[in-house]
Amino acid sequence: MKTIREVLTAGASLLRNSQAANETPFLDAMILLAYVLNISKEMLLASYPDKIDQKDEDTFNNLLKKRRANSPVAYLINSKEFYGLNFYVDKNVLVPRPDSETLVEEAVSIINNFPTTKNILDLCTGSGALGIALKHSLPKLTVTCSDLSAKAVDICKKNSLSILGEELITIKTDLFNDIEGKFDMIITNPPYLTDEETDIMMEKDWPEPGMALRAGMDGLDFIRKIINQAPDYMEKNAYILIESSIDQTEEIKQLLDSGRFYNTRIVKDLSGRNRVTIGQRV
């Protein structure tokens, strides 16, 4: 039998030579092997001299094959860490990105400065990452999560139960169609890729759901609708936080400024790129 170190090194080498994982081959291999062995990454490194069973090596190699075929590590292990929490994910939802933590951090900061902010709507919730992370940070909040996808809503429920120990209010709806009441804050990471960008990704067998990506000719179809409709579901002076691509934030700020919003600003992500656009309802 081979040692864990030998198997891990060989696996990282395989990924290093594949297009899918050439950015983080060792990390990807380490996460997959730790998953197969049901141990932490730290324990894996401490177990380098240990022998590995053939069955576990075969399972690891099968996961490597899928990773080389462009399957995200998060889908292979059905888990993704976000804001220090482990979320269940599969092909029915987008994999939460570290850049999205910027939106949660900004929301927490705003709420701490304005403690009367209590009722939150996470629109286009997907796995529920934004709303659940916010509720975990500030347990007294009332958070409603909504999504057009029934499977995404189910995954959000699953995550809220496993992470928070309770099921958040979850609604299957197309944007605001079945939303009732008014909120102190709306957070959203809606689809924002152009049709062309989405088509290119789908032609390359992109594993994430196209409906969570595609947003019209300029990628702003959903965001325009949200900005136009959101004020009817917001209390006076309530905040809206919108995540988008870096080249859309200025236009989104203009849309907010020309709508029923004021005090608009753009926040940069961890890499120093424009990521979240914020406004307050007039």
Q: Are residues 137 and 25 in the same domain?
A: no
At which of 43, 77, 111 does a domain end? 77
Domain range spanning residue 71? 4-77
At which of 27, 55, 77 does a domain end? 77
Q: Are residues 15 and 86 in the same domain?
A: no
Q: Are residues 49 and 137 in the same domain?
A: no
Strand order in the sheet with 169-172: 169-172, 142-147, 119-123, 183-188, 234-243, 274-281, 261-268
Q: Are residues 176 and 257 in the same domain?
A: yes
Q: Are residues 169 and 36 in the same domain?
A: no
Copy the structure tokens of residue 196: 């062309």
Q: Please, what are the averages of pLDDT over each run of 10 residues along the chain (282 residues)?
A: 95 85 86 96 93 96 92 95 97 94 98 94 98 98 97 98 96 96 97 82 75 83 95 98 95 96 96 96 97
Q: Are residues 111 and 20 in the same domain?
A: no
Report which of 94, 70, 85, 60 is spatially closest to residue 192, judged by C-alpha positions: 94
Cβ atoms < 10 Å from Cβ of 56: 16
Angle at 276 between CA 145 and CA 197, to 5 degrees: 90
Dist. CA 19–CA 84, nearest whole Å: 28
- DSSP at 180: -
Q: Are residues 186 and 63 in the same domain?
A: no
Give the global pTM: 0.92
Q: Are residues 111 and 214 in the same domain?
A: yes
CA distance to 10, 37, 155, 253, 265, per residue, from 250 (Å)? 46, 47, 32, 5, 9
Q: Are residues 90 and 65 in the same domain?
A: no
Dist. CA 134–CA 91, nearest whole Å: 24
Q: Specify the pLDDT at position 171.
A: 97
Copy the structure tokens of residue 138: 């500030």
Q: Specify the pLDDT at position 20.
A: 63
Q: Are residues 230 and 135 in the same domain?
A: yes
Beta strands in 132-273 (DSSP E): 142-147, 169-172, 183-188, 234-243, 261-268
Q: Are residues 59 and 180 in the same domain?
A: no
Q: Are residues 133 and 272 in the same domain?
A: yes
Q: For the chain, what's the residue count?
A: 282
Q: Specify the pLDDT at position 65.
A: 93
Dist. CA 100–CA 154, nearest whole Å: 21
Report which of 267, 215, 220 is spatially closest to residue 239, judged by C-alpha positions: 267
Give the CATH number for residue 205. 3.40.50.150
Give the CATH number for residue 8. 1.10.8.10
- DSSP at 261: E
Dist. CA 71–CA 76, nearest whole Å: 7
At which of 28, 45, 77 does a domain end? 77
